[in-house]
Amino acid sequence: MMITVRQLCRLSQKKSLCCTVRLYDPGNVVRHHHGNKGRNQLVLNANGTNFHYFKKAACRQYNKDVGTKADLVKAIGYRCEWSHNYTAHDAILYALGVGVSTTQSDYLKFLFEKDENFCVLPSYGFIPAQKEVLLLTLEGRLPGLANLDPAKVLHGEQYMEVFRPMPRAATLRNECVVVDVIDKRSGALFLFDVHTYNDKDTLITYNQFSIFIVGFGGFGGKKTSNHEKPTIKPPTRPADYSVSQATSVDQAALYRLSGDYNPLHFNPTVAARVGFSKPILHGLCTLAYGIRHVLQQYANNDVAKFKAVKVRFSKPVYPGQTIKTNMWRDGNRVHFQCEVTETKDVVISGAYVDFHHID
């Protein structure tokens, strides 16, 4: 059914709802039509299929923000580079931050730099790649994100492929590009592709960060993207293997020292602004627990066998809660799902780890 802007105005006038109708294309006001002097406003998308009524106060805020939202698509193609230096000390601090403990049988290979088998956890590959992604979003450096409240920045999904095991120490170069911005209505989803190279320009890792900005949707952007790495549901059969591990109440405080200083994970005031009763654990910390559990069970902690991982962050974990990882093997792919034991909430879903080869 086709309906014109003028017809919508007449409809809204009968209901005493409309003050102004504005027709938007993806990011641009293309026509105005004035109705009666009612208390509300009707905003219509350019395709003529979606429209929303706003209270008068909400209209003022919508009209104030829409120019900013329209700029979001200008971020596509944005590029930047940065370097990241780390030592064995940094790798050990990270391992402690993601739950490696001296109570585990082979802790020396991750916690003692002089051990002959010392190596870096594959999930450390997130750390060099995340630095500028965090700054671009948390500090509102991208078009359309000026004056952004950091509490609105959430980590939606993550993909990483490891081409060479992480060195025990290195200076790495990162190349980042915003490959897409997706309109999720309740927010905007930014896709960042980050390629990480060593000092010989050898590719070490490729990461895709899916960063969700709460309240920045409705800008008329695309709803899906071919750039987005898909999640995969686990098999319907009972899990082949499960392992549980408690986090520390100080887990987020320790993990943040590896470089993720988002106040959402440490400042109670910031956490409260987005509806959390207290600071939540970093999604990449929760993910690292799951990866360690899968790596231990199916590869005996052989980091050279790790190839790739993809996950969706479904719900938060609070420091001190217990993470249970359920696993299903399918050839060289292991599907996994993490839940909080205390609440039964699934916190990581659609997840899998790919190995080069496992017995």
CA distance 21 to 8: 8
Q: Report how far apart, in Å, the C-alpha atoms of 110 and of each of 97, 198, 295, 335 are.
A: 12, 21, 13, 24
pLDDT at 148: 85
**157 has which bridge partners?**
210, 312
Q: Which of 346, 230, 355, 263 is nearest to 302 (CA)?
A: 355
pLDDT computed for residue 151 by the predictor? 79
C-alpha 248/C-alpha 237 separation (Å) is: 31
Number of other CB atoms surrounding residue 3 within 10 Å: 12
Would you give the distance in Å from CA 77 to the centre of its chain? Answer: 19
Q: What's the chain's Rg over C-alpha atoms?
A: 23
**Residue 155 annotated as catalytic:** no
CB atoms within 10 A of CB 354: 17
d(CA 157, CA 312): 4
The string over 97-111, giving b where at least 16 C-beta atoms fall within 10 Å of a residue's C-beta and e elsewhere, is bbbbeeeeeebebbb
As averages over each run of 10 residues, the pLDDT of the chain (359 residues) reads: 41 40 34 36 36 38 50 92 97 98 95 97 97 88 85 91 97 97 93 97 98 90 93 97 98 95 90 91 97 98 98 97 98 98 98 96
- Determine the pLDDT at residue 28: 33
- Look at residue 68 in the predicted model and tell me its pLDDT: 63
Please say if 283 is a catalytic residue. Answer: yes
Residue 339 pairs in a beta bridge with 324, 346
CB-based contact 153:211 (threshold 8 Å):
yes
| Options 84, 155, 265, 282, the catalytic residue | 265
Cβ atoms within 10 Å, residue 300: 11
Catalytic residue check, 201 = no
For the record, the structure tokens of 221 come out as 């952007």
Pick from 280, 347, 341: nearest CA to 311: 347
Q: Which one of 127, 182, 213, 280 is the catalytic residue?
A: 280
* Annotated active-site residue in 156, 283, 290, 350: 283
Is 211 labeled as catalytic in the residue annotation? no
Q: What 3-state class would DSSP assign to 137?
A: helix
Active-site residue (options: 221, 260, 290, 358): 260
* CA 264 to chain CA mean position, Å: 14
Tell me which residue of 137, 229, 124, 106 sits closest to 170, measured CA to CA. 124
Q: Which pLDDT score is estimated for 230?
A: 95
Q: Which residues contact 117 (CB under 8 A, 6 or more apart)?
A: 108, 109
What pLDDT is recorded for position 5? 40
- Residue 304 DSSP symbol: G
pLDDT, residue 242, reads 98
